[in-house]
Amino acid sequence: MTPVTETKPRPAGKTAVVERVQRADARRNREAVIAAAKKLFADEGLDAQMPDVAKVAKVGVGTVYRHFPTKQDLIAALAAERFERLAEKAREGIAAEDPWEGLCDFIRFSAQIQADDRGLCEVMGSRPEVMNDSALTVGLPELCDQLVDRAQRSGRLRKDLEWEDIPMIACGLGRITPSEMGPATGRWPRLVEIIIDGLRPPGSSKLPKPLV
Amino acid sequence: MTPVTETKPRPAGKTAVVERVQRADARRNREAVIAAAKKLFADEGLDAQMPDVAKVAKVGVGTVYRHFPTKQDLIAALAAERFERLAEKAREGIAAEDPWEGLCDFIRFSAQIQADDRGLCEVMGSRPEVMNDSALTVGLPELCDQLVDRAQRSGRLRKDLEWEDIPMIACGLGRITPSEMGPATGRWPRLVEIIIDGLRPPGSSKLPKPLV
DNA sequence: AACTATACGGAATCCGAGTTCCGTTTGCAA
DNA sequence: TTGCAAACGGAACTCGGATTCCGTATAGTT
């Protein structure tokens, strides 16, 4: 045996998880499915149908199910990816020079990815399990906590805010972000800024930055 | 013929809508169905099932369908009622002595009825047609417009707000109001107040009322 | 009291969306 | 080149929930 790429069936380290080498076509198809699902769910929301995912991925339904035993699993996989992006942005915000702007940018970003992905909006709105799970996995709670804490220290964020308020705000924004909001379609960035204004400490000015 | 309560099949005024006298049991059952549906949809959301509505109303499924040909129709009927309540509150706000408080109360109220009715939240979140339709019917756009206008005149509402922002805010609140928000459950009143703070004109204090 | 249009109940049906199954194809190690 | 486990495709199936159908019951009238 001279494995070109990886080891074979591998005798399984301890108990569970047996890693196995995937055939090239399998890997390729998996990617295709993910890409298709990403597009479909983003465009049509969680109601997009599995057979359509297969169609877009140019693959049979069976193949979709081989890679993701359940629609739920597929959704969860996509959600995980989005939450990873969110976490990344949060870290970025924490590392930012300006703590307040770091927080604001995170909030704006969370609105934006939802505006770009109807599926994500729906996960946040009606799949608490998936959302909590994904959020936990990437450590969002701690990240939000740090974000809030740092901003508060800087004095530009109201003292009574707690980290749980951040995901709550993000969820709320996910509701007004999709494009069937009747008369208010596309006006969501206004609300983002309004909320941000509401986050300032009582009596603080809303005018631009401080001097450096 | 001596109609005890109403007129008979009535020759139909012009074209469509033929009013007919309902039998007493029919009227009674209709109310029972509405009551049951109100409770079920409020508790379980729009996924509540028609047969269950029938069960709770102590009526056969057929009866439910005789009164509401479609689940959609039933939902729309309930929504209409809720929106009527909203409109009422809006009028109240417009009539209020304090324009700013009138607006705030309306916003708080819209959050509260959604907190009390998961079905309504879902209508606002994923039934744009039903929502727009109901809103139009009760004249909410005009009411919001007046609410905003009056509050702005009083100088306590930021000038850049437009009436479309009010329903948008209401929708957003409907997302965080239900009770499966993970860590943030029950904290929604905080967000309401944060948003309200954000609605104040730039630089204004958040502290209590002005003097009379 | 008899009559009949109106209502009723709820088993049966319809339907759509997720999921399974299995015969066929294919990557890749020998 | 061969052999076969790993993958594939997609028709067929399952299942849950809305909706229909029709024989029976009854309010209201004569």
Residue A206's pLDDT is 63
CA of B23 to C1' of D28 (A): 8
Cβ–Cβ below 8 Å for B128 and A181: yes
The CA distance from B195 to B96, in Å, is 21
Cβ–Cβ below 8 Å for B197 and A202: yes
> Is the Cβ atom of B9 within 7 Å of strand C at any atom?
yes
Q: Would you list which residues of chain B are within 8 Å, Cβ to Cβ, of chain A?
A: 125, 128, 131-132, 135, 141, 158, 160-162, 164-165, 167-169, 171-176, 180-184, 187-188, 190-191, 193-200, 202-203, 205-207
The CA distance from B120 to B85, in Å, is 12
Residue A180's pLDDT is 78
Per-residue pLDDT tens over the stretch A96-118: 999 999 999 999 999 999 999 99
Percent of chain B scoring above 70 in pLDDT: 87
How many inter-chain contacts (A to B, CB under 8 Å) are there? 118
Per the document, the length of chain B is 212
> Is the Cβ atom of B60 within 7 Å of strand C at any atom?
yes
Question: Chain A: residue nearest B118 by CA?
Answer: A126
User: Looking at the C1' of nucleotide D8, which residue has the nearest alpha carbon?
Assistant: A63
Q: What is the mean pLDDT of residues B81-88?
A: 98
Question: Chain B: residue nearest A131 by CA?
Answer: B182
Per the document, the length of chain A is 212
Long-range contacts of A159-167 (CB under 8 A, 24+ apart): A159/A201, A160/B190, A161/A199, A161/B194, A162/B187, A164/B183, A164/B184, A164/B187, A165/B184, A165/B187, A165/B190, A165/B191, A165/B194, A166/A106, A166/A107, A167/A135, A167/A140, A167/B182, A167/B183, A167/B184
Residue B71's contacts (CB-CB under 8 Å, 6 or more residues apart) are B50
Task: Give me the helices (H) in chain B, please.
Answer: 24-44, 50-57, 61-67, 71-95, 99-115, 118-126, 128-138, 140-153, 165-176, 188-199
Q: What is the mean pLDDT of residues B15-38?
A: 84
Mutate to test the interface with A, among B129, B134, B181, B207 (most CBs of A within 10 A): B181
Nearest to A176 among B162, B168, B196 (CB): B168
| Token pair in block for residue B184 | 């943030």
Residue type present at position B173: L
Residue A203's pLDDT is 75
Per-residue pLDDT tens over the stretch A127-172: 999 999 999 999 999 999 999 999 999 999 999 999 999 999 999 9
| Token pair in block for residue B202 | 């730039």
- Is the pLDDT at B74 greater than 80? The verdict is yes
The CA distance from A142 to A188, in Å, is 27
Using alpha carbons, select from B24, B171, B80 the residue that is nearest to residue A121: B171
Per-residue pLDDT tens over the stretch B29-46: 999 999 999 999 999 999
Using alpha carbons, select from A120, A97, A211, A119 the residue that is nearest to residue A170: A120
CB B206 within 8 A of CB A203: yes
A chain contacts of residue B164, beta-carbon cutoff 8 Å: 183-184, 187
Q: What is the mean pLDDT of residues A29-34?
A: 98
User: What mean pLDDT is reported for chain A?
Assistant: 89
Q: Is B55 exposed, middle or buried (0-12, 13-18, 19+ CB in 10 A)?
A: middle
Given pLDDT bands bounded at 50, 70 and 90, which one contains residue B19? low
Residue B205's pLDDT is 64
**What CA–CA distances, in Å, run from A128 to A2, A117, B56, B117, B185?**
47, 17, 28, 18, 11
The CA distance from A74 to B191, in Å, is 32
Percent of chain A scoring above 90 in pLDDT: 81
Look-up: residue for tokens 């740090």? A146
Covered bases, chain C (protein CB within 7 Å)? 6-12, 17-22, 26-30
- Is the pLDDT at B8 greater than 90? The verdict is no
Per-residue pLDDT tens over the stretch B125-168: 999 999 999 999 999 999 999 999 999 999 999 999 999 999 99
From first CA to last CA, the distance across chain A in angstroms is 64
pTM above 0.75, yes or no: yes
Residue A204's pLDDT is 72
How many angstroms away from the CA of B169 is the closest CA of chain A?
7
Residue type present at position B89: K
